[in-house]
Amino acid sequence: MPKYIFVTGGVVSSLGKGVSAASLGALLQSRGYSVHARKFDPYLNIDPGTMSPLQHGEVYVTNDGFETDLDLGYYERFLGVKLSRNDSVSGGRIYWDVLNAERRGDYLGSTVQMIPHVTNKIKEYIVSPTNTDFVICEIGGTVGDIEGKIFLESIRQFANDVGRKNVMFAHLTLAPYLEQSGELKTKPTQMSVRRLLENGIQADILFVRSPRMLTSDECAKIGMFCNLPAKNVITSMDVDNIYKIPLVYDAQHVFDIMAEHFGLPNATGDMSKIHKIENHLNADLPICTIGVVGKYFDIADAYKSLNEALFHSGIQNNVHVKIKKINAETVSDEDFADVDGILVPGGFGHRGIEGKIAAARYARENNIPYMGICLGMQVAVIEFMRDVVGDENANSTEFSKNCTPVIDIMSDCDREDMGGTLRLGAYPCDIKTGTLAEQIYGMQHISERHRHRYEVNIKYKDILEKNGMIISGISPDGKLPEMVEVPSHKFFIAGQFHPEFQSNPFNGHPMFNAFVAAAKKK
């Protein structure tokens, strides 16, 4: 049976539970243990698929086609694991499962209650098979939230079910710094741990978010009031890059605390992969500026995986990637004067679409490296049909019903529910020989993750290729264009998929690596 670590949070939201959970996994992996990660979100949406990126951040997609919380991206990037639909569980999904079971008669006429029926359902997801040594489960929200109480009750029960030495409770809190008085206040942490205790859970280790390292006296004070050893009070210090957090934890002997709790042999970890990232961050390297033309810039997490993928490719190319945010609704040619590459990411809806088309035009006409992702491929095709082929009526049926439908709903989508129809998850792609795509991937058969509803219309393949835009990647059945490129251009390529979902800091992603390399040359 695997051992379990539950990560909870208190005081305020957005403290970084996902990064902390991933960092614990990285420490365990550095000592040779296998790790799996899960996210439990108390909100009542079935999944994040219909939630606005301006409120919730990006929607991450797993290989098996499930729309999940963005924290699963942290887990996959940090840990190099492939997660699934069983690893992102919302309160809405739990209640949906329970109520459907009741309608089917699965409970044999019993009165359906929060305990045991809802708690048992949560525990079923906790123990979904992983074949790993550890399972790290993050509980979303903040201790004290009404909707989160049933999840805390479930993990309390679970610790009793499997034995307390097989479960560790890690709690992330905040120690605010009052600049006027020059004091770091520990009371919010004390109160947060007390709220956790009210739910029957004693924290085994505390991660205290702080602008500086806690002193030994502060750790002793927190430990005394929170009923745990001072050495188990860890400073989760503010850092300039999330990949430094495993090193911060390792310097405070967090693995030794886990080893003591679970009865593991102490071991020195191999943190060389993380040190390589740290060395890159500290190195004096050229700056490569990438103009990202989007419309969700009001929240930092809206393009989280995209930003990470560009950073990863900077590591592979020995440059610091600077992202210039360009609003698609107000874009002008002047916005591109100082960029080394132009990237148009995915998105939904007509707002800002003409600005994205203008970005593809500017990149093509001025021989600036261009990379299109999902909608970024579609706007590149629309622009080419309008300005090279000469069909001014070219558009997507998503935006206009009376148009030349170079973009249309062409596929039988896998998902049809309250969120609509989408092509979701990993799909195969056959790459044409002798193309930039083949040069980038070094193979002819790839698999990438999708999240979209509309497709490039295969009917326009011949006219596109006759005028100089080739379809270099296509679905195995030959019906769905997956990649396009312009061979006469320095670097102009786009994919219908989301390659950012398969990037990691240790290898990057072939498409991003090649794009940043081309931008570096410019």
Catalytic positions are 374, 498, 500
- With contact defined as beta carbons under 8 Å apart, do 207 and 172 qualify? yes
Joined together, the tokens standing for residue 213 give 């390292």
CB atoms within 10 A of CB 18: 24
Tell which residue, 64, 72, 67, 63, has the closest CA to residue 49: 67
Longest dimension (CA), the chain: 75
Looking at the DSSP bridge assignments, the partners of residue 290 are: 323, 341
d(CA 350, CA 357): 11
The beta strand positions in 60-180, using DSSP E, are: 60-61, 67-68, 88-90, 134-139, 167-174, 177-178
Nearest of 369, 338, 367, 370 to residue 357 by alpha carbon: 370
Q: Looking at this protein, which amino acid is placed at residue 519?
A: A
Other Cβ atoms within 10 Å of 88 Cβ, number: 26
Do the strands 420-431 and 445-452 form a parallel or antiparallel pair, or are they unpaired? antiparallel
Asked if 425 contacts 479 with a C-beta cutoff of 8 angstroms, the reply is no
**Residues 6 or more apart in contact with residue 313 via CB below 8 angstroms:** 321, 503, 508, 509, 512, 513, 515, 516, 517
| Contact by Cβ (8 Å): 291, 341 | yes
What's the angle, vertex CA 81, arms to CA 306 and CA 451, rounded to 5?
Answer: 40
Provide the Cα torsion 111, 113, 119, 124; round to 10°: 30
